[in-house]
Amino acid sequence: MIRRTMFFKVRDDAKPDQVAKLEDLVRGCTKEIPGVKRLSLGRDLDPRKLYTHVWDMDFATNEAVMGYGPHAYHMNTLMPYFNRNSPTGVVEKLDYAYYKPVSVGTRPLNKGLIRRVMFFQMMPTASKAQIAEVEGKVLEMPKKIPAIANWALARATEHRMPNPWTHVWELEFADQAGLDAYGKDRFHHDVVAPYFRPDSATRVVQAINIAWYKTDMPLIARD
């Protein structure tokens, strides 16, 4: 399975019916495009409001990924909404990554949860040892933070992306309180965050992008 997560922002002046139409068309991908196994779409809950939506989509195979771009439904039905020069274009910016998990963990979880996705790019100068250290510390967090229900660390599989992301860190929480507990956790702040902070002497992560939303189903599962 290969997953693609997209963050996108609809223009502030977009009409509600235009947004609803776009959401319906996005959800239609599972029916219209072979190889799309599963899809989840929700409104971004990040208070910074950098994006309006988060769109997760799972592909069965590499061939399905390659077939998605040129598929008529994608090209002729969806793309006009994402093209600012199109009469129906309502999306003003987007970011996405294609990725495959290298480590997955789950705990029992009821339906209805908060899903948080972070793209990050290791510095080009980071050594293999530094990359392994960051990956290891990131994967320690579920052991230290019980609020994390499901988690997956992935490496990007595609280079044809808006930004050169190297990793994706997926987290699922039972509710907003779980996400808040994660945000305040000392291990998160004192051990992991310094790798990502521009003012830290141990920084080895070049850039990040984060969004989260409410979804009715866990997307993270063990094979």
User: Is 49 found in the same domain as 18?
Assistant: yes
Residue where a domain stops, chosen among 74, 95, 116: 95
Does residue 110 sit within a domain? yes
- Farthest-apart Cα atoms in the chain, separation: 50
- Residues of the domain holding 111: 99-215
Residue where a domain stops, chosen among 75, 95, 115: 95
| pLDDT (0 to 100) of residue 112 | 73
Residue 68 neighbours by CB under 8 Å, 6+ apart: 33, 35, 36, 59, 74
| pLDDT (0 to 100) of residue 221 | 79
Give residue-wise pLDDT tens across range 60-115: 999 999 999 999 999 999 999 999 999 999 999 999 999 999 999 998 766 679 99
Task: Please choose, from the candidates 215, 223, 212, the residue with its C-alpha nearest in 3D space to the C-alpha of residue 119.
Answer: 212
For 162, the 3-state DSSP assignment is coil
User: Is 138 found in the same domain as 90?
Assistant: no
C-alpha to C-alpha distance for 76 and 154, rounded to whole angstroms: 31
User: Is 117 found in the same domain as 82?
Assistant: no
* Residue numbers of the chain with a pLDDT score lower than 70: 109-111, 222-223
| pLDDT (0 to 100) of residue 110 | 62
* Residue pair 67/60 in contact by the 8 Å Cβ criterion: no
Does residue 127 sit within a domain? yes
User: Is 172 found in the same domain as 117?
Assistant: yes
User: Is 84 found in the same domain as 63?
Assistant: yes
C-alpha to C-alpha distance for 1 and 183, rounded to whole angstroms: 29
Q: With the CA atoms of 213, 214, 216 and 220 taken in that order, what torsion angle do they form, in degrees rounded to the nearest 10?
A: 50
| pLDDT (0 to 100) of residue 223 | 58
Q: For residue 84, give Cα distances in angstroms to 44, 93, 97.
A: 21, 9, 21
C-alpha to C-alpha distance for 127 and 133, rounded to whole angstroms: 10
User: Is 183 found in the same domain as 104?
Assistant: yes
Does residue 220 sit within a domain? no
Residue where a domain stops, chosen among 95, 111, 137: 95
Residue type, 175: D
Report the CATH number at residue 203.
3.30.70.100
